[in-house]
Amino acid sequence: MSQMSPPIVRTVAELRARVMAWRAAGELVGLAPTMGALHEGHLSLIRLAKTHAHRAVASLFVNPTQFGPNEDFEAYPRSEARDAELLASVGCDLLYAPSVSEMYPQGFATTVSVRGVSEPLDGAARPGHFAGVATVVTKLLLRCGPDLAVFGEKDYQQLQVIRRLVRDLDIPVEILGAPTARAEDGLALSSRNAYLTADERSAAPELHRALAAAVEQLHAGRSAAAVEADAMDRLKAAGFSRVDYVEVRAVDDLARLGPGPVPGPARILGAAVLGKARLIDNLAV
Q: Check binding of 220 to a second copy (CB under 8 A).
A: no
Site string for a second copy, 145-184 (x = CB under 8 A): x------------------xx-xxxxxx------------
Q: C-alpha distances in angstroms, 26 versus 21, 47, 230?
A: 9, 20, 53
**Burial zone of 118 (CB within 10 Å; 0-12 exposed, 13-18 middle, 19+ buried):** buried
**What three-state secondary structure class fits 201?**
helix
**Burial zone of 170 (CB within 10 Å; 0-12 exposed, 13-18 middle, 19+ buried):** exposed
Which residues are identified as catalytic? Answer: 42
Q: How far is the CB of 243 from a second copy (least distance, A)?
A: 28
Residue 82: what are its φ and ψ, rounded to 5°?
-65, -40
Q: How far is the CB of 60 from a second copy (least distance, A)?
A: 17
Site string for a second copy, 77-106 (x = CB under 8 A): ----------------------------x-
Angle at 44 between CA 165 and CA 279, to 5 degrees: 70
Measured CA to CA, the distance from residue 174 to residue 141 in angstroms comes to 10
Indicate the residue among 169 and 229 with the shorter CB distance to a second copy.
Answer: 169
Name the strands in the sheet holding 277-284, side by side, starting at the edge strand that comes first in the sequence.
Answer: 242-250, 266-274, 277-284
Indicate the residue among 105 and 221 with the shorter CB distance to a second copy.
Answer: 105
Indicate the residue among 68 and 172 with the shorter CB distance to a second copy.
Answer: 172
Measured CA to CA, the distance from residue 239 to residue 193 in angstroms comes to 15
Q: Check binding of 25 to a second copy (CB under 8 A).
A: no
Indicate the residue among 139 and 201 with the shorter CB distance to a second copy.
Answer: 139
Strand partners, 176: 150
Indicate the residue among 6 and 98 with the shorter CB distance to a second copy.
Answer: 98
**What three-state secondary structure class fits 270?**
strand
Measured CA to CA, the distance from residue 194 to residue 73 in angstroms comes to 14
Of 116, 179, 258, 260, the one binding a second copy (CB under 8 A) is 116
Q: Check binding of 139 to a second copy (CB under 8 A).
A: yes
Q: Check binding of 254 to a second copy (CB under 8 A).
A: no
Q: How far is the CB of 252 from a second copy (least distance, A)?
A: 8
Of 110, 198, 263, 264, the one binding a second copy (CB under 8 A) is 110
Measured CA to CA, the distance from residue 25 to residue 43 in angstroms comes to 26
Q: Check binding of 113 to a second copy (CB under 8 A).
A: yes
Q: How far is the CB of 102 from a second copy (least distance, A)?
A: 11
Q: Check binding of 107 to a second copy (CB under 8 A).
A: yes
Indicate the residue among 255 and 284 with the shorter CB distance to a second copy.
Answer: 255
Q: Check binding of 137 to a second copy (CB under 8 A).
A: no
Q: How far is the CB of 253 from a second copy (least distance, A)?
A: 7
**Residues in CB range of 119: below 8 A, 6 or more apart:** none
**Residues in CB range of 2: below 8 A, 6 or more apart:** 88, 89, 91
Binding site for a second copy (CB under 8 A): 12, 16, 105, 107-117, 134-135, 138-139, 142-143, 145, 164-165, 167-172, 253
